[in-house]
């Protein structure tokens, strides 16, 4: 009897527990909200949280447009513009006694630069004064001979001799005068060396007391306009058809890595260097701020005057097989991996013919990190 009661009690407990479990499960099922549907991800787009650590390694820049290069960057050298430059040497030997111009001074045409004490110049002055005196005497003798000849006092031969002496004196005076004009007219031994062009004194290779002569290897002064320079560029013969007169070039100097200067082709040499297989092209360069200096080495890139494309730094482009990609920041934390078509790649920039637009924000630093994350996901 006791056994039956115990079995009945256990059964009631089991049935009651099952009922309680069933009711509780149904109630919990009603309280649990249905799972949210996640929006499908856009292809080739990665989303980062606002404070994601990866964003600290990324740097972006706006896409710019510009003329497309026709060749790789070429080596060039900045030189003086010879049309506006005078390398001044002395035509006479002597000793410098006074200097009138310093480097950086602006000088006018004919302005004295230096005074030279020269015995040769003094002798040239003496020769001129002697020829002037002789010419005066010979002219007076000729006038007397002419009067006497017309009065039939002297023979024709004497008149002709006086005439010949006058012509000789005139020639000697002309020679002495022209010689002095080559130096600069003066009445003493102090020779004034002056500039033949207006501009800025860019070089000075003389000091007070220096002995100078026409045999000096270096010019005493260089006067030029530093705002107008030339760039000599060597171009391989295989690229000769890619340059022409009046074509524009992009000039880059290591001294100013973030600046671009503009030059224009003004001359293409008619001669090919047989050793280097290169041709010299000369370009005019405006230098209003005088940042560029003669003898600087630069990179010169000929540009296509008609083709204008978007361009980005080379580090912004990822190459996978035969395809090229860039990463575009569509909005903060939203990065798109985009397929692009490369038209030209130089030593610094890549020019894109398809897939990019001006002012879009392209990732220029951290592209390898981004690409690895895109690959993993």
106: confidence class by pLDDT, cuts 50, 70, 90: very high
Other CB atoms within 10 A of residue 324 CB: 18
Amino acid 34: pLDDT: 41
Q: Examine the pLDDT at 283 and tell me if it is beyond 60.
A: yes
- Using CA atoms, how far residue 250 sits from 62, 120, 187, 256, 290, in Å, is 20, 51, 54, 13, 17
Q: Are 273 and 279 in contact (CB under 8 A)?
A: yes
pLDDT tens, position by position, 13-60: 555 665 555 556 555 554 444 433 333 356 688 788 878 887 888 889
* CB neighbour list of residue 294: distance below 8 Å, 6 or more residues apart: 78, 79, 80, 202, 226, 229
Backbone angles phi, psi at 114, to 5 degrees: -155, 150
Q: What dotted CATH number matches 74-81+224-305?
A: 2.40.30.170
Task: Report the pLDDT averaged over residues 282-293.
Answer: 94
DSSP state letter for 108: -
pLDDT tens, position by position, 119-161: 777 677 777 778 888 888 888 888 888 888 788 778 888 888 8
Strand partners, 302: 249
pLDDT tens, position by position, 194-252: 888 889 999 999 999 888 988 888 899 999 999 999 999 999 999 999 999 999 999 99
- Tallying the residues shown for the chain, one arrives at 377
Task: Tell me the CATH number of domain 89-118+189-223, given options 1.25.40.10, 2.30.130.10, 2.40.50.100, 3.20.20.370.
Answer: 2.40.50.100
Amino acid 35: pLDDT: 37
Rounded distance between C-alpha atoms, residue 88 and residue 195, angstroms: 7
Strand partners, 154: none
Amino acid 188: pLDDT: 60
Q: Examine the pLDDT at 282 and tell me if it is beyond 50.
A: yes
- Using CA atoms, how far residue 85 sits from 101, 285, 352, in Å, is 16, 14, 42
Amino acid 11: pLDDT: 64
- Span of 83-97, 171-185, 325-339 with lowest mean pLDDT: 171-185
Rounded distance between C-alpha atoms, residue 373 and residue 377, angstroms: 6
Amino acid 149: pLDDT: 78
> Could you identify the residue written with the tokens 């390898």?
368
Amino acid 30: pLDDT: 47
Q: Are 353 and 65 in contact (CB under 8 A)?
A: no
Rounded distance between C-alpha atoms, residue 158 and residue 142, angstroms: 10
Rounded distance between C-alpha atoms, residue 99 and residue 104, angstroms: 14
Q: Examine the pLDDT at 360 and tell me if it is beyond 60.
A: yes
Q: Examine the pLDDT at 8 and tell me if it is beyond 70.
A: no
H or E stretch covering 281: strand 278-286
> Could you identify the residue written with the tokens 């370009």?
283
Is residue 216 exposed (0-12), middle (13-18) or buried (19+ Cβ within 10 Å)? middle
Amino acid 161: pLDDT: 86
Does the domain formed by 53-68+309-376 have CATH 2.40.420.20?
A: yes
pLDDT tens, position by position, 292-333: 999 999 999 999 988 899 999 999 999 998 999 999 998 888
Amino acid 185: pLDDT: 53
Amino acid 44: pLDDT: 81
pTM: 0.64
Tell which wins on pLDDT, 34 or 68: 68
Amino acid 56: pLDDT: 81
The domains of the chain are located at 53-68+309-376, 74-81+224-305, 89-118+189-223, 120-188
- Span of 28-32, 89-93, 365-369 with lowest mean pLDDT: 28-32
Amino acid 65: pLDDT: 92
112-142: b (≥16 Cβ within 10 Å) or e: bbbbbebebbbebbebbeebeebbeebeebb
Q: Which fold has domain 120-188?
A: Helix Hairpins (1.10.287)
């Amino acid at each position: 009897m006791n056994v039956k009661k115990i079995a009945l009690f256990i059964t009631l407990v089991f049935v009651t527990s099952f009922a309680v479990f069933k009711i509780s499960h149904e109630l919990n099922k009603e309280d649990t909200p249905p799972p949210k549907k996640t929006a499908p991800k856009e292809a080739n787009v990665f989303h980062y949280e606002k404070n994601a650590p990866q964003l600290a390694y990324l740097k972006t820049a706006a896409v710019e447009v510009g003329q497309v290069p026709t060749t790789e960057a070429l080596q060039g050298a900045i030189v003086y513009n010879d049309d506006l430059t005078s390398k001044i040497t002395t035509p006479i030997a002597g000793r410098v006694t006074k200097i009138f111009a310093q480097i950086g001074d602006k000088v006018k045409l004919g302005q004295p630069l230096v005074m030279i004490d020269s015995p040769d110049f003094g002798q040239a002055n003496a020769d001129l004064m002697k020829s002037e005196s002789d010419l005066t005497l010979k002219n007076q003798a000729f006038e007397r001979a002419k009067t006497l000849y017309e009065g039939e006092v002297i023979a024709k031969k004497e008149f002709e001799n006086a005439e010949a002496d006058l012509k000789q004196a005139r020639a000697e005076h002309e020679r002495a005068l022209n010689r002095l004009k080559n130096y600069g007219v003066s009445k003493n031994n102090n020779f004034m060396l002056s500039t033949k062009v207006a501009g800025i004194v860019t070089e000075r290779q003389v000091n007070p007391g220096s002995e100078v002569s026409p045999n000096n290897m270096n010019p005493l002064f260089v006067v030029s306009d530093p705002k107008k320079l030339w760039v000599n560029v060597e171009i391989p013969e295989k690229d000769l058809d890619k340059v022409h007169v009046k074509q524009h070039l992009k000039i880059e100097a290591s001294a100013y890595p973030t600046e671009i200067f503009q030059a224009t082709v003004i001359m293409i040499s008619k001669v090919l260097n047989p050793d280097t297989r290169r041709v010299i092209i000369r370009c005019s360069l405006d230098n209003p701020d005088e940042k560029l200096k003669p003898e600087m080495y630069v990179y010169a890139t000929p540009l296509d005057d008609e083709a204008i494309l978007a361009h980005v730094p080379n580090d912004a482009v990822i190459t996978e097989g035969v395809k090229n990609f860039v990463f575009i920041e569509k909005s903060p934390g939203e990065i798109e991996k985009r397929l692009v078509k490369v038209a030209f790649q130089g030593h610094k920039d890549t020019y894109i013919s398809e897939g990019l637009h001006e002012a879009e924000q392209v990732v220029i630093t951290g592209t390898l990190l981004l690409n690895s994350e895109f690959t993993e996901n």
